[in-house]
Amino acid sequence: MPDQGSVFDYIVVGGGTAGVAIASRLSKYLPNCKIALFESGPDATHHPKVNDPNLWPSLIQEGLLVDYQTTPQVHLDDRVVPANLAGRLLSGSSGTNVGVWMRASRTDYDVIAKAAGHSRFTFEKLLPYFKRLENHWDVNAGSKYHGFSGPFRTVGGREYPLRQPILQSAERLGIPYNPDSANGDPTGVSDLTQNFRIISPSKSERQQSAKVYDLTRVHVECDSPVARIIVDTTGTAKGLELVSGQKFHSRREVIISCGAHKTPQILLLSGIGPREELEKHRIPQILNSPAVGQNLHDHSQLTLFFKLRDPKKGQALPFNGTMKPEFGHGTPWEFNIFSHIPASELSPILTSDGLPGVADETHSLLGNKRCHTMTMPIYFPIQANPLANPDIGIMAGTHVSFVALHLLPVSRGTIALKSANPKDEPIIDPKFMSTNTDRYIIRRAIRDVLRLVETEPLASELDGEAPPLDHGHPALTSKSTDGEIDARVRRYVSTISHPMGTCALGKVLDTEFRVKGVKGLRVCDASVFPEPLGAMPMQTIYALAELCADLIAGQAET
């Protein structure tokens, strides 16, 4: 008989964004049950560099932010793509990210719901969870799409020096201002919202999951990496084994919430996954589940630096002469510009990839109002492309960044095992830019940026792109050839660390997050998305965690 101190009713594996939320909610909904939460990293809830949202880059040196490496990417000049960042601490990536609080388009959620096989994943059905979560910063936004009493406070509405030039240039290009991108249609120019809490006129603090959710009734074990899930001969999950060899047992369920990189690794190490992968590493098979570790998709980006014509105007960090106290409430970043590519433009490219559903426009990428690309104007030269421009000072006040993002990739990658040793990180192969469609969309995203910065009145404030110093790359303009843009993409495109899809609903999981073929085992984290989400995923992951807890506790709509 196991020691009663090691027996719980529910065990949550992974104390990150979703895992903390699920454990906390279960402890509230099921007060007579024993809930345990296991996290591989430390409890850094009160670490000053975690709580200060502007110090997240330093968390790599603190050992709280893991930098996963990809395999060499064939379509990116065989580069190993760095900066696949993930938080390894209690709160996970919610304790290390930039706190972007946004929703995707209504169509995105409909596509996900169709692939998952249930309407509970539609925008309308998730909206109550979105509203439950938030305490929205804009009291004039109205309650149809926003909550004002949830646990997550948000900040936004800061007005930076280039606000009017950006808005006016976008309007001249036919891109309207969108006063509320959370209404199911994010297209247009919308104000950035971040889930930080204002603590003074010039300062805010991070709202990571372990700080927001109550864990006082949860048994929390930090610095406890999990080696595998224990599954008995009846195909029922009965607990877990730590890397240390210590075992813990569950009476009811185990919920894995370790993210799109680690969750499939744990399933594979537990004997759940593609037969060939298990046999390769001599892992006894519990269940042949071919889709585990497949369907990896991620957002990709290219960052461009533009020189200010007159740095004395204080239009970039450190905002000499233009600094406002509220600039300390979040990242020096004001807008997100979401764009939809019409079906008539995308269809020929999809056809060239031999993808089905183009002729009758049933391919998911052709859906109404999906946001294929996003532009992020940032008021300092963010070094998202490592060593591209090392001579440009972040605090020099001479350059701004425009980040071009591809949000809806067609390429699908994989997560595989390096070995059967749980201490080894998984093999990550996103297969970035492996389709004509993906190469077209990122090129389109970059051209959108170039058209914007060359349109008045913004054009009069900028003095062209500052290209990377190596390999003789020319400065990009709207007249650049596809070949010049493609060369920049191959050399510098990177990830913004939003891996998803590797334990997909409808494939690996049923409509209640249960692993098909194994009793008492669920997954809820970014790995569950069967299709790409055209937005930063944190708010949606929290909503899915709330839904998962409701389903476990019997409180959700059926």
Mean pLDDT for the stretch of residues 279-301? 98
d(CA 248, CA 262): 19
226 annotated among ligand-binding-site residues: yes
Query: Does residue 383 sit in the same domain as residue 479?
Result: yes
Query: Does residue 233 sit in the same domain as residue 88?
Result: yes
Instruction: Show which of 459, 477, 495 is a domain's final residue.
Output: 495
Query: Does residue 331 sit in the same domain as residue 458?
Result: yes
Instruction: Identify the pLDDT of residue 54.
Output: 87
| Band of pLDDT at residue 385, cut at 50, 70 and 90 | low
By percentage, how much of the chain surpasses pLDDT 70?
98
| Band of pLDDT at residue 195, cut at 50, 70 and 90 | very high
Query: Does residue 177 sit in the same domain as residue 252?
Result: no
pTM attached to this predicted model: 0.97
Report helix, strand or coil for 423: coil
320 annotated among ligand-binding-site residues: no
Omega of the bond leading into 457 within 30 degrees of 0 (cis): yes
- Rounded to a whole number of angstroms, the CA Rg of the chain reads 23
* Within-domain flag for 147: no
99 annotated among ligand-binding-site residues: yes
Instruction: Show which of 495, 516, 545 is a domain's final residue.
Output: 495
Measured in degrees and rounded to the nearest 5, phi and psi for residue 220 equal: -105, 125
CA quadruple 547, 551, 556, 558: dihedral positive or negative?
A: positive
- Residue 3 vs residue 527, higher pLDDT: 527
Say yes or no to pLDDT of 386 above 70: no
* β-sheet bridge partners, residue 499: none
- Model confidence over 196-250: pLDDT tens digits? 999 999 999 999 999 999 999 999 999 999 999 999 999 999 999 999 999 999 9
* Within-domain flag for 110: no
CATH at 338: 3.30.560.10
Query: Does residue 185 sit in the same domain as residue 235?
Result: no
Give the number of other CB atoms < 10 A from CB of residue 2.
11
- Model confidence over 66-98: pLDDT tens digits? 999 999 999 999 999 987 899 999 999 999 999
Instruction: Show which of 495, 522, 539 is a domain's final residue.
Output: 495
Instruction: Identify the pLDDT of residue 367.
Output: 86
13 annotated among ligand-binding-site residues: no
508 annotated among ligand-binding-site residues: no
- Which helix H or strand E contains 250, and what residues bound it? strand 247-256
- Model confidence over 469-515: pLDDT tens digits? 777 889 999 999 999 999 999 999 999 999 999 999 999 999 999 99
Instruction: Identify the pLDDT of residue 388.
Output: 63
Instruction: Tell me which of 19-23, 218-222, 364-368, 451-455 is least confident.
Output: 364-368
CATH at 55: 3.50.50.60
Residue that the structure tokens 């996103």 belong to = 430
Query: Does residue 313 sit in the same domain as residue 279?
Result: no
Question: Tokens standing for 400?
Answer: 């701004």
Mean pLDDT for the stretch of residues 144-148? 98
Instruction: Identify the pLDDT of residue 382.
Output: 87
Return the DSSP state at 312: G
Per-residue b/e over 18-45, b at no fewer than 16 CB within 10 Å?
A: bbbbbbbbbbeebeebbbbbbbbbebbb
* Nearest residue to 141 (alpha-carbon basis) of 154, 122, 124: 154
Query: Does residue 332 sit in the same domain as residue 342?
Result: yes
Query: Does residue 189 sit in the same domain as residue 218?
Result: no
* Within-domain flag for 116: no
The bridge status of strand 218-221 relative to strand 35-38 is parallel
Report helix, strand or coil for 139: coil
* Within-domain flag for 108: no
Instruction: Tell me which of 63-67, 71-75, 543-547 is least confident.
Output: 63-67
Angle at which helices 17-29 and 538-553 cross, to 10°: 30
- Residue 369 vs residue 507, higher pLDDT: 507
Say yes or no to pLDDT of 110 above 60: yes
* Nearest residue to 126 (alpha-carbon basis) of 103, 154, 100, 148: 103
Query: Does residue 95 sit in the same domain as residue 162?
Result: no
Say yes or no to pLDDT of 123 above 70: yes
Instruction: Identify the pLDDT of residue 122.
Output: 99
Query: Does residue 173 sit in the same domain as residue 240?
Result: no
Mean pLDDT for the stretch of residues 145-173? 98
* Within-domain flag for 144: no
* Within-domain flag for 189: yes
* Within-domain flag for 163: yes
Instruction: Identify the pLDDT of residue 2.
Output: 62
Query: Does residue 444 sit in the same domain as residue 482?
Result: yes
The total number of structural domains in the chain stands at 2
Cβ atoms of residues 544 and 516 within 8 Å: no
Measured in degrees and rounded to the nearest 5, phi and psi for residue 507 equal: -115, -70
d(CA 67, CA 60): 8
* Domain interval for residue 534: 4-99+208-295+499-553
* Within-domain flag for 106: no
Query: Does residue 246 sit in the same domain as residue 306?
Result: no
